[in-house]
A and B are shown apart, each in its own frame.
Chain A
Amino acid sequence: MSTQPFDAALYRRKVENNRLGLWLFIVSDGFMFAGLLVARFYLLGDTRPELNQTLGLAVSAILLVSSFFMNRAEIYASHGDRRGFLFSTFMTIALGTLFLAGVVGVEWRTAPFGPADGVHGAIFYMMTGMHAFHVLTGVIFLLIIFRNGWRGLYTKEKHWPVEAAANYWHFVDVVWQFFYPALYLFGTVIK
């Protein structure tokens, strides 16, 4: 087995390319979510589905706090603090799971309509379902970086996967910043 010396300049160049690729993916994924948002306003106009607004606020706050912990995880990784990184990543995973439980486990079960009950049901389940799927894949991504961090694979100089996971997680949060008011706040309730 051969060990190659760490080339910081080469690594930085690779990270620059990776970063550009990740952002291109994020922008393209953003277009898909923007399409869903346009569909919501085109089909529902100034009406909205009958939802629990307080629960909406609670899950939004949970997702924002999870983004805060994700940011901490990235900061700790960039300062070579393994313990801080692991704790913050664990908290992000826990809060992301709690968000999923709030939307899929509570809101979906208590909503007075199903996905096939008209256009408001279809739009609501499509938007929250697609978003929840991204949260789920984000949690899986975080579990992978947690495992790798546990094994000591990240250093102060080499932690691109942490930055990538953090950016993906924050992107999912950005999407929710638009979905939350569009679904829970704006419009009069359809009964």
Chain B
Amino acid sequence: MKENEALKNDLRFGAALMVILVAVNVVEFWFAIAIKSQLVLFFSVAFLALVDAGLIIYYYMHVMRLFEADDQGGH
């Protein structure tokens, strides 16, 4: 029962993260159309790209597993 709940929570979190990542991509696209200053656009999309990359590396790639002790498992 607990196992099922954990699975559902993991799946739900993955789906929510995907929605955020796609939304950030759409915002980037909108910035490219709306912002005329190339300098402002550069820093805006660079910041959003870093946010997307950071979320993927932390939550999808589980970078922190690298620093986990031997007796801990993932997920």
Residues of A at under 8 Å CB distance from B?
9, 12-13, 16, 19-20, 23, 46, 53, 56-57, 60-61, 64-65, 67-68, 70-72, 74-76, 78-79, 81, 163, 166-167, 170-171, 173-174, 177-178, 180-181, 184-188
User: What is the interface of chain B, defined by CB distance below 8 A to chain A?
Assistant: 3, 6-7, 10-11, 14-15, 17-18, 21-22, 25-26, 28-29, 31-33, 38, 41-42, 45-46, 48-49, 52-53, 56-57, 60-63, 65-66, 70-71, 73-75
Please name the residue on chain B nearest to A181 by beta carbon. Answer: B45
Contact A178 B56 (CB under 8 A): no
Contacts A75-B11, A78-B75, A185-B28: A67 and B60 contacting too (C-beta < 8 A)?
yes
Q: Which of A65, A163, A185 contacts B32 (CB 8 A)?
A: A185
Whether the Cβ atoms of A167 and B29 lie closer than 8 Å is: no
For the complex, give the distance between the alpha carbons of A152 and B71 in Å: 26
Q: Which residues of A contact B52 (CB under 8 A)?
A: 174, 177
A72 lies within 8 A of B14 (CB): yes
A180 CB, nearest partner CB in chain B, Å? 7
Q: CA of A40 to CA of B56 in the docked complex: distance in angstroms? A: 24
Q: Tell me the total A-B contact number using a CB cutoff of 8 A.
A: 105
* Complex CA–CA separation, A191 to B52 (angstroms): 30
Considering only CB atoms, which chain A residue lies closest to B45 in the complex? A181
What would be 16 A-B contacts, judged by CB atoms less than 8 Å apart? Answer: A12-B73, A19-B65, A46-B42, A53-B29, A56-B29, A60-B25, A64-B18, A68-B18, A71-B17, A71-B18, A78-B74, A174-B56, A178-B53, A185-B31, A185-B41, A186-B32
Nearest CB of A to B55, in Å: 9
Which residues does chain B contribute within 8 Å of A186, judged by CB atoms?
32, 38, 41-42, 45
Alpha-carbon distance A74/B65, docked complex (angstroms): 14
Assess the B65–A81 pair: CB atoms within 8 A.
no
State which of A64, A72, A79 has its C-beta within 8 Å of the C-beta of B21. Answer: A64
Q: In the assembled complex, which residues on chain A have CB atoms less than 8 Å from the CB atom of B15?
A: 68
**Top 6 closest pairs, chain A to chain B, by CB:** A68-B18, A185-B32, A181-B45, A78-B75, A71-B14, A177-B52
Tell me how far the C-beta of B71 lies from the nearest C-beta in chain A, rounded to whole angstroms. Answer: 8
Query: Chain B CB within 10 Å — which of A65, A75, A184 has the most?
Result: A75
**Chain B residues positioned under 8 Å from A71 (CB to CB):** 14, 17-18, 60
Partner of A68, one of B14, B32, B57, B61: B14
The distance in angstroms between the C-alpha atoms of A72 and B18, with both chains bound, is: 11
